[in-house]
Amino acid sequence: MAEKSPAEAAVGGVPELVGNDLAAAEHLFGDRLDLARRYVRHLATSGLERGLIGPREVPRLWSRHVLNCAVIESEFPEGARVADVGSGAGLPGLCLAIARPDLHLTLIEPLERRVHWLEEVVADLGLANVAVLRGRAEQVAGEVDADFVTARAVSALATLVPMTLPLLRGSGTLVAIKGRSAAEEVEKAAKAIRKFKGHSVDVHTVGESLLEEPTTVVRIDVGEA
- In three-state secondary structure terms, 139 is coil
Whether the CB-CB separation of 76 and 103 falls below 8 Å is answered with yes
Contacts of 206 (CB under 8 A, 6+ apart): 71, 72, 74, 75, 214, 215, 217
Residues annotated within the binding site are 86, 91, 137-138, 152
Task: Please compute the mean of the pLDDT values over residues 49-62 and round it to a whole number.
Answer: 93
- List the chain domain ranges: 73-222
* Sheet-wide strand order for 215-222: 130-134, 104-109, 81-85, 148-152, 172-178, 215-222, 198-206
Global model pTM greater than 0.85: yes
Question: Could you give the CA distance from residue 38 to residue 158 in angstroms, rounded to a whole number?
Answer: 35
198-224 pLDDT, tens digit each? 999 999 999 999 999 999 999 999 987
Amino acid identity for residue 173 in this structure: T
Residues annotated within the binding site for S-adenosyl-L-methionine are 86, 91, 137-138, 152
141-158 pLDDT, tens digit each? 888 989 999 999 888 999
CA 95 to chain centre: 6
Question: Could you give the CA distance from residue 208 to residue 90 in angstroms, rounded to a whole number?
Answer: 23
Segment among 3-12, 24-33, 69-78, 176-185 with least mean pLDDT = 3-12
13: pLDDT confidence band, cut at 50, 70 and 90? confident
Tell me the CATH number of domain 73-222, given options 3.40.50.150, 3.80.30.20, 3.40.630.30, 3.30.530.20. Answer: 3.40.50.150
168-189 pLDDT, tens digit each? 988 999 999 999 899 999 999 9
- Exposure of 192 by Cβ count < 10 A (0-12 exposed, 13-18 middle, 19+ buried)? middle
